[in-house]
Structure formats: C-alpha cells, structure tokens
C-alpha cells in the first residue's frame, strides 16, 4: 500500500512538473543544467542565486561576488553588474548586496531564455524605484476583492503551516525585482493586527526574506477602537499614539524588516483621521512616527472622493494638494495612476505634478477590474508606458501594483494575465522598457516559440490594451460599466438613490447635443489642475488629444475630430475596430497553435472566444445606447449589431466582485 | 356617448388604413382613383374587377369584356388578354371567364404599381398550372403546425360569423392567381367532416367564391371509424364506400364547387389504407370514385417513410413508383419538391421523373419550417426556380404551397414572409418568372422605393435563400436541425430510442474520414432513382454538383471539390459566407431606411439582427461540431467562433412547433 501511494505521489509530482498548466509562470527553464557556479557567500539569498544558476545556466562558468566597486556604490544596494570576463570564458556577477547577486542571476537566466548574446556581456542594472510593491486586496476569509483567479494565496486558517506556493511566489517576484508585498486588502480588517495574525504574518515574512521581499500590511485606521483596546482612534489622542507605538514594536519584534503600513482612510466608508476632525497628514504622521524608529514607512492612499458637488476627478487633488509639505519624510502618498479609478484609459492624476514637497508613489492595477477580469487578454504594459510618458518616474521612490494573483493553477486566471504581473515587476525596475520588449521577454520565457510566432503574439499583446479601450471606452469615455462587478457595459445604469458619481451618466453625459464630461475651463475646470502647458492643450477641444476628448469635453455629435471623423463616426470606428481586433487575436492564436502545448492553447482559445463575444456585447450596448441620443445612422463600413438594446438592458450577470463571469450567449427566452 | 364612439371608430379605421403595419400586403394602391371602367357583366366576380379598377387605376378608360375569341379559346378559361386599343386611348381586358377578367384587372394594376409602360399593351396570359392551391396546416383549435405568424385565420368557434380577414385573404390570393385552398392540417381531425364543421366551411367557401377560390379539405382516412359511424375504414368495405359517398354528397349540397380532398395516409402515424392491407391506390381510388360525379379530386400525398432499413430519401419512390398507372384520373399524387422534407436545399424528388402515367403535383413549403421560421429573411423563389429548372412544370396540372399565413397583423410574421406567399402565387401561374422579377414586383407594390433601393433590396432577397443554405446546411447537408422545432442547429442530437432517421447523424454521417450520406451506387444507390443522365452526374463524386455533394456522397475531409477547396475549406467558406451575407443584409436594410416607413423598418431591422445572431450560432455550432471529426484548423480568412461547442450543446430553446423563437443572447450563467 505504501509503495502504491509513493508511486502515485511520484507520478503526480512528475505530471505536475511536466504539465504546461501555467503553474511555472515564466520560470520554465530546464533544471538539469549543472553549471559551474562559484559563490563564496553563505547567505541564504546568495545560495539561492547559486542554486538557480546551477540548475538552469548552460553557459560558461559564473562567479557570484560581492564588491565595493565605486561605480556600484553610487547606485542603490540592489544594483548589480554582469560582465563577461577572461575573453568570454567566464561571467562575473557583482553587487553590493546579496539580493543584487540574486537579481543578477535571474537577469542572466533571462538573457539565456531570450536567446540574447552573452559573449561580451557588460551590463549594469539598477532599479528606478527603491520600493517595488505588490498590493493584495485579499480578505482574511480568502476572498479577493477584484480578484479573478481563485482565492487568496494566504491560507490564514492553516498558517503557520506552509504551502509550497509561498516560496514559489517569492521566487517569481524576486525574478522580476519585486521587493515588497502588502498582504491584505486596503479595506482592512482590524483583526489583521492581532497577535494571532501577526504570528502568521511572521511566518510568511520568513519565507519571503531570502528572496528580498519585505512584508507590509494594510491597516484599518480605527483598529485600536475596533479591537476594543482604546475608546477612540483620534490620531492626536495619547492613548491611541501609545497603542500604535506598542503595536509597531510588537510587529518589529516578530518581523525585524517589516516594511510598514498601507492605509485607505476616509474613503468609501473606511475610517480615518477626518472622522476625528484631523487631517490626512495628522493621521499619517502619527503612524509614521510610530514606524520611524524601525525605518518603516506609511503608504497613505489619495483615493478619496466625498459625495460632494465637485467633479470626482478633481477631488483627490482638492483634498491632498493643500497638505503638500505637511507629511513626515517616511510617509508616501500612494496615488492611482489616473484621477478616477483604474479605467481602461485615463489621463494621469494631476497630483503627480502638484505635490512637489511630498513623496508620491503610483498605484497601478494589475488585476483587470475594469478590463475584462481574467476573461480578456489585455496586456497592460502599453497603458503604464503611456503613464510614464507624462509622469517622470525619477521623481518617485516607490511604486505599487494591485495584484491579479490567486490560487488558480496558473496564478492569474488568464495565462496572459501573468504577463501583467511580469510587466509590473519589469517596469518597476526599469520604466523605460517598451511594451514590445517586455512582451517578447515574457513570451520567450513562458512559451517555446519560433521567431514568427513570437512576432505574432507580441504584436497581439501590444495591441490588446488599445483593443479593450476601443470596444469598451474609446475616446476618453470612462466608468460606463455595469453596477458592482465592472465587467459588462451599462451606460444606461440608473440605481435609484445611489450616489450620482457612481452612475455612468455622471461620466458620459450623453444628450441630444453630444457626449462627454466637460472638464474644460467652461466646465468643471479639472484641466486647471494640470501644468499650464498641458492645461492649455486639454482645455482646447481642437488640441485635446482624441484619446482624452470625452474625458475633458462634452463634444457635439457632429463635431469633426482631428482624425477627420465626426464624433459619432469616430465612436463607431473605435467600437468596431475593437471587435475586429479581438477577431484578429483569435486568428493570431490559431496561427501559433503548433508552437503551444495543447492545454494552454485550449485555455487561451476559450478566453479569446469569450473576449470577442464580450467585445460585440460592449460595442452593441454602447453604440445602440448612444445612438438613442445621437439619432445618427451607423456609417456604411461597420459591422451591424447582433443584439437589441432592450435585450441588453435586461442582462444581469449577477456576479460579485470576486468572481469572473462566464457568459452564456444563447438561451431560451420565452 | 354615441358620437364619441363613432369618432373613435373613425379614428381607428383611418389609422388602420394609413398605418404601414403590413396588413395591406402588396395591395397598397390608393383607393381614390375614380377611373372610368366599363363592365356590362353583373357577376360578383366581374363587379369586383370593376370596383378594383375604379378605385386604383389612374390611366385611360378600361373596358372589361368577355369574349369567345379563338386565340383565348385554345387556353384555359381563366386566361385573359390585356390590350391597349384606339391608339392607346383605351384598354380592353378580355377573357372567356369572369375570373379571367378579375385576374386581368389585377394584372393591369400590378403594371401600374411597377411603373410598366401601358401605352401599347398587348398581353395574353394563361396559367401554367390549373390548380394553384394553398395548404393550411391549421388545426381546429387554431394552432398552426409549422406556423409562425399567430393563430389560424379560421375562427371555427365564431363561424359562421365572418371576419373581415376572410375576404382580404381571398382578394390577396386572387390578385396573384391562387385559386384553391385546403383549409385544414394534413394531420386532419375527423371532426372536420362533421355537419357542424361543414356548415362553417360552406360560409368560407361563399366568401371565397367570387374571388375564384375553391375550398378543399384535408381528410383523416379513418374518419368513418373515428366518428363511430362505421366499424372499419377499409376502403374496400361497402359500408365505408357508402359512408364516403354520402359524406361527399352532403358536402356538395352545401358547397357545389367544392374542390376535393387532400390526404396524408400511412405517414407519420396517420391512418391509411395500408392499415387494412390495401394499397395507397386502393385508398385513393375509393375517395376518387366518391368525388368523381362532382368533378372533385383527391390529392394523395407521397410523403411516406416507414421505419425501415431503406434510405429515407428512397422511400417515397419505393412505395409509390410501383403504383404508377393504378390511380383514377381524378387522383393527383402530391409530392414534396425534394425526397426528404423541405430542407433549405434538396435535389428534386425522383418521383417527378418516374411516374409517367400518374398526375403529380409538387408540394412546396411557403412557411419556413426549416429556414428560420418567421425570424429569418429567406426569399424562397430562387429555391423554387431551381426546382423548376429540373422538373418541367408543363407535365403537371396542379401545385400546392404550404402557407405561412396566420393572424399576425402582417399575415406572415416577417414582413418579407409575404414575398414568399406572393412568389408562390406568381410561380404557380408562371413558373418561368425569375426570382429577381418577382422580388422587384413584390417590392414595388409593398414599399415605395426609389430605383436604387429597389435594386438593393431585390438583390438582398435574391441572395437570401443561398445565405440561409450557407449558414445552415451548405454543400448538400440536410436535417441537422434541433429536435422538434427545426429552428436551431443540433448536428450532435441523439435522442435515446428515437427513430434513427429522425437523428441528424443519420444524414450527416460525420466521422474521421469525412462527411455526407453516401447515396451513390456504392452506397444506398438513391442516385439510381434519377434518369440515367442525372444518375451518372450525381453518382460520380467528381461531377456531382457541389451544392448536392454531401447529399449524394460521403466526402473525405481533404477531398478537393470543383471549386478547388477541400471539403473542410469549402464547409468553412460557406458557413462564413452565410454569416457575412446576413451582415450585408443588415447594411442593405439600413441603406434604404429613408424609403421605408418607421414601423416596418424597425420590425425588419429587429429580425435581421436576430438572423445574423442565429447565423453565427449555426456557423459556430456546425463548424465546431464537424471540427471534432475533421481535426482540421479553420482557414486563415474566416471569422472565428464566438461560442463554445459545449455551451451550444446546452442550448434548449424549449419552443414548440407553433412558435417562433426569440433568442436571448447574453445571460447569466453561474
């Protein structure tokens, strides 16, 4: 019996090792290379670097060596250098730190996987952002807010017992340079800071440490009150201050390299200092003071919008900009890339160019809350590239990405969802990387592709974000999603009694005259929050980039855009192009079939089918709805609807935020 | 109060008269013409002819006159001549009969509506078939089998009270030359022949008579037994013979011009002479003898197929051909156009070329049982034109069409369904008319179109049948419909215990080698039922027309067809073309919007949306299903599926035969 079990076990493990189920992510290199690697360092981190190379490196001998080289000393400690020495007969990886050596090892393996020339290597790499952090919106009950890849990785019930996934997670992150993780949802449970949970967090931190990953926690600002330990959570109250000091001390006793706190305060119902008549700065500073002795930081989110008359796009600026200069040096204001909320396309948040005396960090969303969940292929690097075109990364020290990771075998639900995790890590290290380069890097490591397939798929990836924008919300449209789950279209949505700024019509403003939100100087004047030159550019309907035109202007239906199309024509053009692009993606995927293992081929094919179906749904819903205002016919060239507006209005997906929908397209309706 | 009611009544009547709801069919000419029409005849029929012209004719004075002209005397009595006389200052319509004059009047009005030159008219018209008959598959409870336009027109409950629709029905039929109607379903209720019902039939016959429409009835062969009046229905039993003689006498006392009986015997569970060990001929002849003294006829259906081993396509021939020469002269064998059952495309039934000594009549299906019910635009004239290309009309004396008429305001469910009723009448009169001519005639009378729109829509109509064949069953595929309702695709259908020849797989025979039914000389040898030349043509896979290739052959997936495409490529090509054509129809309809009244425009637009959606459904279902056998990839150029086979297999429309489905395309599925 024992033997049978053993056999079964081996079989399963082998199967697991060989199956192309996406579980190995981009770390699929053979593990039988037996390279010659020299490393005199004994730290766990250095030994991991050595082992990784020994397993997978197939080239000349490698030496891993810490140095105090003066060029490297000018750079952050985790920087590294890779050089071919002795006429290419050996490769040396140097760094000031052990983690730098590990990053260098992964870099070298990446070069091997992407068939780069390693003959005359001489690379020095250094991260653009010091803190490259994943945010998990994971609840303690393992549901993941806006997660579409199963449950939370963190099994709080079983911890401190370990899952093999914890180390795999750390390794994957280290391989792309991510060095921090916020374990829990910004809508944080006070329970997170109880001793019971902190002891579990300690265990995870221990697993992550050798991979250079610091642990952070989201905190509920009212925790001392909520746990019944202090009668208030007023940040100026001495008991409160003391409570936090003690709590921080307790944490650091368990986790000496604990990273700090992430706080969502006075936003969407979360408690915060304003509940006690204090400012965001007073609240953040109190926590910062508690963390300061341990070099911990506070990441204080600027995602706030009260139910006021002010244009929602202006509110974070209005609330935070006046506080510029009032924050402690270990507070970083964490600002979403755009002024609203992770839409498929937004202009950048004007806070990035208006808080000169405060450290800021961008919060990007890796999970596709607004981009088709884990059903749609949407490579987000082009969106982030666009952001970095206008927001200089070198003004900031940290960056956060809301992750798309869960318990699904392939980690992210969609195999191509892994590429967004990968891209976040790579851009956090080097924001000047282009989408095309990142796509190719990821593809080469994730599949075994011949050159033509690599080109086909990298093109598909690079176009995919624009395709989603096209079929969901082109020309600067935003927030016309279905109520709650943000998956399907619902530009007509009207929930009695709901906040106006949660309704699509607040954003699209469709009427007989035209479409779009007038944020120009004659409207809400949100343009004034941008630097003068951009303000001018956006304010003028003739110069405003077409991709933002409905974000900043209420545009007449027959207004001629820069493309020469009227607004109505352009709207039809983009929605149609989005659908046609999804069809192209289906063909592209079919074309590379022989390069892809059967399992992942079928999985992705299924997702692409759903994506096209959804793209048609979006196109039909939005164009038919907006047509009730424009009263204009569809231009000749574009595919006609296959749905009726009235039928689409009846669609109720009935999905919650945590789930990814599957849509049945044909059903009886009698 | 009375005045108010009167006002309301007038308002409604006026609204009714003006509304373009399709209720006026192709008879939409203004009724205020006040033409000068001379007619000395006092018969009701002649007076109708006079009144129709007086109301609508806008040209020179018209004289309606019976003649015994020797040219006309060579032709059937209902023939007519229309001539411009006195240098075009007058038009004379001549006929041997009153009904001929009425047909002539409608012809003249049709010329006016189609903008024909009437200056130098000299037309002689004579019908190709003497009997041009509609078959209603209407049950006495007013449900219509395979009807998709509401309930039965015949309100048996209220009869002998009249509905205005009865006269409108007769008028519409007369306007296109239809001269007979079988009021009830071939799956006939014995109650039909009770005195109670015959007295109601008499009332309808009286309404129809002035319009030249004879009434016929479908009879249940076991009626004398079923009514409990004789103990058997054996056609050679004297009591039975006597019963039928008396019944026929009773009928003719009520309806002196009664047309005769239509019989579905020993088919799909209906009783017949074979139940008593007699032949079809013995059964039919017994009824014929009873009808003979009154010049009544028997239309005996050849739609038979027993659950035997023989290829279903061969069975009607096997059962009827040997009876050739055994039928009375007033029996006509009514044969469906194809050997199976009204499929979107069938080769003709070989009975038409193999019963030289028996009068035959084709049974066409106007109602779209297998062509998308009243949801799809499918103009059937091209299908019938194809039939008449091979089956010479002049060998036959009668023709039947299973009607698509019901209580719907627009009579046929789909506005364009009217065109099939119209086309049937026109082809029954003149089978050499082309589809294009009929389409244009109908369009010009049904809408008010400018020339370019007329061209656009007539093209759409002419292409529409091929489009349906393409997206449902191209290349000779047949009977792969969903169980029961025959609306959607179900090539995978397998009902445990059901007759093999009711299952799609019986017909498509998909396997790893190929697709199609081998009816060649190496298969079921159904080809041998055709005349030698056709037999040779169909038997050889290299010469068999591509449109019938899967009807007659089991074709290997990679077999090169005459088009140069392999079977699999051709299959993909046709399914894709079908979908693209439906999209073209949507655009074509949009293009003529300004020529169409809002009501009918919206109605048809809605139907075209459903048609495209359904075409995609068909394409995806069939290609994905057949791909599980072919294992071949989709060729580059064609649109990829937007559904998954597994999802499509779960679709249950849950509709009955009498209903037209509306399909909801997006629905929650969790």
pLDDT at B659: 46
Alpha carbon B78 to chain centroid, angstroms: 23
> Which of B640, B652, B668 is facing A583, going by the closest CB pair?
B640
Q: Find which of A665, A668, A669, A670 to mutate to test the B interface (most B CBs within 10 Å of its CB).
A: A665
Residue A662 predicted with pLDDT over 50 = no
Torsion region of B87: left, alpha or beta (phi above 0 gives left; psi -120 to 50 gives alpha): left
pLDDT at A665: 38
d(CA A211, CA A46): 10
- Asked if the C-beta of B15 comes within 8 angstroms of chain A's C-beta atoms, the answer is no
- Provide the annotated active-site residues of B: 268, 341, 369
- Asked if the C-beta of B661 comes within 8 angstroms of chain A's C-beta atoms, the answer is yes
Give yes or no: A490 in active site: no
d(CA A1, CA A8): 11
Which contacts qualify for B46-55: CB closer than 8 Å, 24 or more apart?
Answer: B46/B98, B46/B101, B46/B102, B48/B102, B48/B171, B48/B210, B48/B211, B49/B93, B49/B98, B49/B101, B49/B102, B49/B104, B49/B105, B50/B105, B52/B102, B52/B105, B52/B106, B52/B109, B53/B105, B53/B108, B53/B109, B55/B29, B55/B31
Judge contact between B341 and B303, C-beta under 8 A. yes
d(CA B141, CA B138): 8
Residue A333 predicted with pLDDT over 90 = yes
Sign of CA dihedral A470, A471, A475, A479: negative
Rg of chain A over Cα atoms, rounded to whole angstroms, equals 26
**3-state percent helix, strand, coil for chain B, nearest multiple of 5:** 45, 10, 45
Specify the DSSP class assigned to residue A542.
T
Query: Residue A413 — pLDDT band, cuts 50, 70, 90?
Result: very high
pLDDT at A654: 64
- Asked if the C-beta of A634 comes within 8 angstroms of chain B's C-beta atoms, the answer is yes
Q: What is the pLDDT of residues B203-235, one digit of tens each?
A: 999 999 999 999 999 999 999 999 999 999 999
Give yes or no: A369 in active site: yes
d(CA B595, CA A576): 26
The neighbour count for residue A642, using CB atoms within 10 Å, is 25
Interface contact flag, B670 A647, Cβ < 8 Å: no
Sign of CA dihedral B419, B421, B422, B424: positive
Comparing C-alpha atoms, which of B563, B528, B526, B568 is closest to residue B546?
A: B563
Judge contact between A488 and A615, C-beta under 8 A. no
Chain A closest CA to B495's CA: distance in Å? 20
Q: State the average pLDDT over residues B172-198.
A: 98
Residue-wise DSSP of A131-162: EEEEE--B-TTS-BTT--SSS-S--TTTTTS-
Residue B7 predicted with pLDDT over 60 = no
Q: Which residues are CB-contacts of A141 (< 8 A; sequence separation ≥ 6)? A: none
Q: Find which of A489, A664, A669 to mutate to test the B interface (most B CBs within 10 Å of its CB).
A: A664
Interface contact flag, A663 B661, Cβ < 8 Å: no
> Which of B641, B642, B663 is facing A616, going by the closest CB pair?
B642
pLDDT at A495: 87
CA contacts within 13 A on the Cβ side of B347: 26
Greatest Cα pair distance, chain A, in angstroms, is 80
Q: State the average pLDDT over residues B126-139.
A: 97
d(CA B461, CA B442): 11
pLDDT at A502: 86
One-letter-per-residue 3-state SS of B31-73: CCCCCCEEECCCCHHHHHHHHHHHHHCCCCCEEEEECCCHHHH
Backbone angles phi, psi at A91, to 5 degrees: -120, 135
d(CA A650, CA B580): 27
Residue B669 predicted with pLDDT over 50 = no
d(CA B587, CA A638): 9
Chain B closest CA to A172's CA: distance in Å? 32
Q: State the average pLDDT over residues B431-435.
A: 97
**3-state percent helix, strand, coil for chain A, nearest multiple of 5:** 45, 10, 45
User: Which residues in chain B touch residue A648, judged by CB atoms under 8 angstroms apart?
Assistant: 666
Q: How much is the ipTM here?
A: 0.87
User: Which residues in chain B touch residue A617, judged by CB atoms under 8 angstroms apart?
Assistant: 666
Nearest CA in chain A to B611: A642
d(CA A33, CA B185): 80
Query: Residue A1 — pLDDT band, cuts 50, 70, 90?
Result: very low
The neighbour count for residue B131, using CB atoms within 10 Å, is 22
- Asked if the C-beta of B670 comes within 8 angstroms of chain A's C-beta atoms, the answer is yes
SS3 A398: strand
Query: Residue A11 — pLDDT band, cuts 50, 70, 90?
Result: very low
User: Which residues in chain B touch residue A607, judged by CB atoms under 8 angstroms apart?
Assistant: none
d(CA B251, CA B295): 13
Least confident window among A415-424, B482-491, B614-623: B482-491
Nearest CA in chain B to A602: B644
Comparing C-alpha atoms, which of A584, A582, A635 is closest to residue A469?
A: A582
User: Which residues in chain B touch residue A606, judged by CB atoms under 8 angstroms apart?
Assistant: 644
Judge contact between B258 and B208, C-beta under 8 A. no
Residue B429 predicted with pLDDT over 90 = yes
A to B CB pairs, distance under 8 Å: 116
Comparing C-alpha atoms, which of A372, A418, A415 is closest to residue A605?
A: A415
- pLDDT above 90 as % of chain B: 88
pLDDT at B498: 85
Residue-wise DSSP of B173-194: HHHTT--EEE-S-SS--GGGGS
pLDDT at A660: 44
- Asked if the C-beta of A655 comes within 8 angstroms of chain B's C-beta atoms, the answer is yes
Q: State the average pLDDT over residues B562-583.
A: 98
Q: What is the pLDDT of residues A283-326, one digit of tens each?
A: 999 999 999 999 999 999 999 988 788 899 999 999 999 999 99
d(CA A254, CA A235): 25
CA contacts within 13 A on the Cβ side of B549: 23
From residue B16, give the alpha-carbon distance in Å to each of A186, B23, B226, B655.
64, 9, 44, 32
Residue B346 predicted with pLDDT over 90 = yes
Interface of B with A in 484-523 (CB under 8 A): 488
Q: Find which of A642, A650, A655 to mutate to test the B interface (most B CBs within 10 Å of its CB).
A: A642
Rg of chain B over Cα atoms, rounded to whole angstroms, equals 26
Q: State the average pLDDT over residues B446-472.
A: 98
- pLDDT above 70 as % of chain B: 95
d(CA A250, CA A235): 19
pLDDT at A127: 97
Q: What is the pLDDT of residues A427-459, one digit of tens each?
A: 999 999 999 999 999 999 999 999 999 999 999
The neighbour count for residue A484, using CB atoms within 10 Å, is 15
- Asked if the C-beta of A641 comes within 8 angstroms of chain B's C-beta atoms, the answer is yes
Q: What is the pLDDT of residues A197-228, one digit of tens each?
A: 999 999 999 999 999 999 999 999 999 999 99
CA B524-B318-B269 angle, to 5 degrees, is: 105
Nearest CA in chain A to B603: A644
- pLDDT above 90 as % of chain A: 88
Sort B551 into a burial class: Cβ within 10 Å, 0-12 / 13-18 / 19+.
buried
Give yes or no: A268 in active site: yes
Q: What size, in residues, is chain A?
A: 670
pLDDT at A19: 75
CA contacts within 13 A on the Cβ side of B221: 31
What is the β-pairing status of strands A331-336 and B260-263?
A: unpaired
């Amino acid at each position: 019996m024992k033997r049978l079990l053993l056999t079964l076990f081996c079989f399963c493990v082998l199967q697991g090792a060989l199956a192309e189920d996406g579980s190995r992510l981009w770390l699929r290199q053979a593990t039988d290379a037996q390279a010659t690697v020299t490393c005199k360092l004994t730290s766990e981190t250095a030994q991991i670097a050595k082992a990784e190379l020994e397993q997978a490196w197939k080239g000349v001998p490698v030496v891993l060596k810490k140095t105090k080289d003066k060029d490297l000393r000018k750079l952050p400690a985790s920087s590294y250098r890779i050089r071919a020495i002795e006429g290419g007969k050996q490769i040396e990886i140097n760094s000031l730190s052990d983690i730098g050596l590990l990053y260098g090892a992964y870099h070298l393996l990446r070069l091997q996987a992407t068939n780069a020339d390693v003959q005359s290597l001489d690379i020095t790499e250094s991260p653009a952002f010091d803190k490259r952090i994943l945010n998990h919106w994971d609840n303690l009950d393992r549901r993941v807010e806006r997660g579409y890849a199963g449950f939370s990785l963190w099994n709080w019930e079983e911890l401190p017992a370990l899952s093999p996934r914890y180390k795999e997670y750390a390794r994957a992150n280290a391989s792309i340079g991510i060095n921090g993780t916020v374990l829990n949802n910004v809508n944080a449970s006070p329970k997170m800071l109880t001793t019971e949970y902190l002891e579990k967090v300690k265990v995870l931190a221990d697993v992550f440490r050798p991979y250079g990953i610091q642990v952070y926690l989201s905190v509920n600002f009212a925790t001392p009150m909520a746990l019944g330990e202090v009668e208030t959570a007023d940040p100026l109250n001495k008991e409160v201050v003391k409570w936090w000091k003690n709590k921080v001390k307790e944490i650091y006793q368990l986790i000496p390299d604990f990273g700090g706190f992430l706080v969502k305060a006075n936003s969407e119902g979360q408690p915060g200092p304003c509940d006690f008549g204090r400012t965001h700065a007073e609240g953040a500073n109190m926590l910062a003071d508690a963390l300061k002795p341990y070099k911990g930081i506070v990441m204080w989110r600027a995602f706030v919008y009260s139910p006021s008359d002010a244009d929602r796009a202006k509110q974070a600026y209005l609330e935070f900009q006046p506080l510029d200069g009032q924050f402690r040096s270990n507070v970083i204001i964490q600002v979403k890339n755009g002024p609203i909320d992770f839409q498929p396309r937004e202009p950048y948040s004007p806070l990035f160019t208006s808080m000169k005396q405060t450290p800021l960090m961008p919060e990007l969303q890796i999970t596709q809350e607004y981009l088709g969940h884990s059903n749609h292929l949407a490579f987000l690097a082009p969106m982030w590239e666009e952001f970095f075109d206008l927001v200089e990364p070198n003004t900031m020290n940290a960056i956060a990405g809301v992750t798309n990771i869960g318990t699904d075998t392939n980690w992210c639900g969609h195999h191509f969802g892994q590429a967004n995790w990968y891209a976040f890590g790579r851009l956090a290290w080097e924001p000047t990387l282009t989408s095309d380069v990142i796509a190719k890097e990821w593809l080469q490591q994730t599949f075994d592709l011949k050159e033509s397939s690599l080109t086909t798929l990298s093109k598909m990836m690079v176009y995919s974000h624009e395709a989603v924008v096209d079929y969901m919300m082109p020309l600067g449209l935003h927030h016309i999603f279905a109520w709650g789950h943000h998956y399907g279209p619902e530009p007509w949505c009207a929930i009695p009694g709901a906040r106006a700024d949660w309704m699509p019509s607040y954003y699209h403003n469709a009427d007989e005259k035209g479409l779009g939100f007038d944020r120009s100087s004659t409207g809400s004047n949100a343009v004034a929050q941008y630097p003068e030159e951009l303000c001018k550019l956006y304010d003028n309907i003739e110069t405003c980039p077409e991709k933002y035109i409905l974000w900043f202007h209420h545009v007449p239906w027959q207004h001629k855009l820069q493309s020469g199309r009227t607004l109505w024509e352009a709207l039809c053009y983009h929605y149609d192009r989005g659908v046609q692009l999804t069809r192209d993606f289906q063909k592209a995927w079919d074309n590379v079939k022989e390069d892809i293992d059967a399992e992942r081929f079928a999985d992705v094919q299924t997702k692409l089918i759903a994506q096209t179906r959804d793209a048609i749904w979006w196109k039909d819903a939005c164009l038919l709805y907006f047509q009730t205002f424009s009263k204009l016919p569809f231009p000749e060239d574009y595919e006609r609807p296959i749905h009726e507006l009235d039928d689409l209005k009846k669609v109720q997906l009935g999905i919650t935020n945590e789930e990814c929908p599957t849509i049945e397209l044909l059903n009886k309706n009698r």
